[in-house]
Amino acid sequence: MFSCILFDLDGTISDPKQGICGCVQYALRSFGIEEPELDRLEPFIGPPLAESFMKYYNFTAEQAQEAVEKYRERFSVTGKYENVLYPGMGALLHDLKASGATLAIASSKPTVYVEDILVHFGIREYFDIVVGSELDGRRVHKEEVVAEVLSQLAARGESDPDKMVMIGDRSFDVEGAKAIGAHCIAVSYGYAQPGELENAGAEIIVRDVEGLRSVLLGGTQAGNSAQAGSGTQAGNSAQAGSSAQAGNSTATGSNTLSERYRGSAAKTKTKSGQFWSAVGTSALAMFAYYVISLLISSAILTAISVVYAIGLQELEGSSYNFWLNVASALSTFGAFIICYGIWHKKIRFHSTKEIDKLSIVPMVILAAAIAIGMNGVLTLTELYRFSPTFQRVSEMQFDTPVWLGIISYGILAPLGEEIVFRGVVYGQLRKVLKVPYAVVLSGLAFGLFHGNLVQAVYATVIGCLLALVYEWYGTIAAPMLFHSVANLFVYVMLELLPFGSVFLSVPSCVLFLVLSAGSLFLLWMLQGKAALRQKG
């Protein structure tokens, strides 16, 4: 049990999205900037406001300060109350206080607003120390805030960092704990970007308030929740589950958090455990997508057979392939809907990354060029001769009306496969592996899923590029667009145009592969550099 527990406020105790992002909208509007999507403003939650305005909108220092003043114009009246406690947080604070711990707030938000919010929720009584930034611009960085908390704790005779823990949802909170040599528990239900907490070196990462309770109190039940504050409001936890994950230890002291709590009710996971958990989730998503597609397709084909009152194979070749393609399209759509419903909370739809709009041009060129180039390589090497399955699949896929081919392979397949293979598989692997390893493993999974040699080689290469696109852009919409362009370009250029075979010659193959390499480099230069600028 820690004697001193420091809490961040936004994204840790309460969800401030509506208030903070709404006030950022208000401030931007005063500069003639309209930003209708609150999700795009989530990076403003946590860091100092002025720095965020300069970082994300290229404001000068003077403009950023003016924007902060406009922000506070709305926040001081309305925004600070557009806020909800995370479920179970009031009861947890009550029980921590009852256990004898000293509780403190260490927030980058101005202290005057922090005080108002704590009183509003009826939880001010639980905190012995409340420290935030100052309205005049002093003490805005988390290291300064945490240092002030430590100073006040020292005045109370409680200055042993090994008995302190900082709890927060961003890398700034982890770094603040490191600055004073305290332990750190990170919460993933807040507003950290994928991999942010792990890279910052959080010792333990918990997925919800119950996971936090398990670490701090050993899984004891909530006390009298009525005493947790009459102003407690219920919000929605961003992630389900109550397990805690062990990260890399960075705090000083005789033992780490993961050592201290290993085997306790917190059920901390080793890195190996995290890896296999990610692999298991990925395998489950792939299996579900396959089985759901198979069941829906089988049901549709059975229904068609009943309607025709004959075996489906007795239809003429084109009719047979047409109904197979119809069944494939509908099963893909059904699998997409179901998998989206199950795993959508694990997938990044709204990017918090800086996006260079010009980079979309080389991305589209890369998608088209690599698709044609890889088809040329596979054709020239005659790899299809070793895969009878591919020949049957290829014959079926392209013996279909143009409209159905476009819908099935240009729209539905990219939607369904990206939700599963980039959204879930790459997303899970990225949490436990560095980018190159996650890219390659997810690409291999995508290739093997296709079940024949030719498509396995093609899909592995395309899958690696799709994972990179997802990583660089931070939104599933990017690989969906890439995938759709690649599929449509192959379908139109190779199958619909009478001169399509010219694209499969050696000179054409070399040309498209060189174009692919150049486009990939340019894409990295534009969007990859934009992502690096945002991090730096």
Distances, alpha carbon 249 to alpha carbons 111, 142, 417, in Å: 30, 20, 37
Q: Tell me the backbone φ, ψ of residue 309, rounded to 5 degrees.
A: 60, 25
Give the ranges where 381-452 is alpha helix by DSSP (H). 388-398, 402-405, 413-418, 427-432, 435-449
Q: Determine contact, residues 379/225, Cβ cutoff 8 Å.
A: no
Rounded Cα–Cα distance for residues 56 and 44 (Å): 9
Q: Which residues contact 24 (CB under 8 A, 6 or more apart)?
A: 35, 41, 44, 49, 71
Tell me whether strands 102-110 and 129-133 are parallel, antiparallel or unpaired: parallel
Rounded Cα–Cα distance for residues 163 and 509 (Å): 64
Q: Determine contact, residues 259/223, Cβ cutoff 8 Å.
A: no
- The torsion angle over the Cα atoms of residues 161, 165, 170 and 174, rounded to 10 degrees, is 30
**What is the phi-psi region of residue 219: left when phi exceeds 0, alpha when psi lies from -120 to 50, beta otherwise?**
left
Distances, alpha carbon 382 to alpha carbons 175, 288, 388, 395, in Å: 55, 33, 12, 16
Strands (E), 295-420: none
Q: Determine contact, residues 178/184, Cβ cutoff 8 Å.
A: yes
Helix (H) or strand (E) holding 206: strand 204-206
- Partners of 15 in the β-ladder: 84
Give the ranges where 223-316 is alpha helix by DSSP (H). 257-261, 271-308
Gyration radius of the chain's alpha carbons: 27
Tell me whether strands 129-133 and 14-15 are parallel, antiparallel or unpaired: unpaired
* Among 8, 10, 15, 169, the one annotated catalytic: 8
Measured over the CA atoms of residue 135, residue 138, residue 140 and residue 143, the dihedral's sign is negative
CA angle 417, 418, 423 (to 5 degrees): 125
Residue from 434, 181, 58 nearest 67 by CA: 58
Q: Please report the DSSP string for 24-84 in residue order.
A: HHHHHHTTT-----GGGGGGGSSS-HHHHHHHHH---HHHHHHHHHHHHHHHTTTGGGS-E
Would you call 169 a catalytic residue per the annotation? no
Q: Determine contact, residues 393/466, Cβ cutoff 8 Å.
A: no
Rounded Cα–Cα distance for residues 369 and 496 (Å): 17
Q: List active site positions.
A: 8
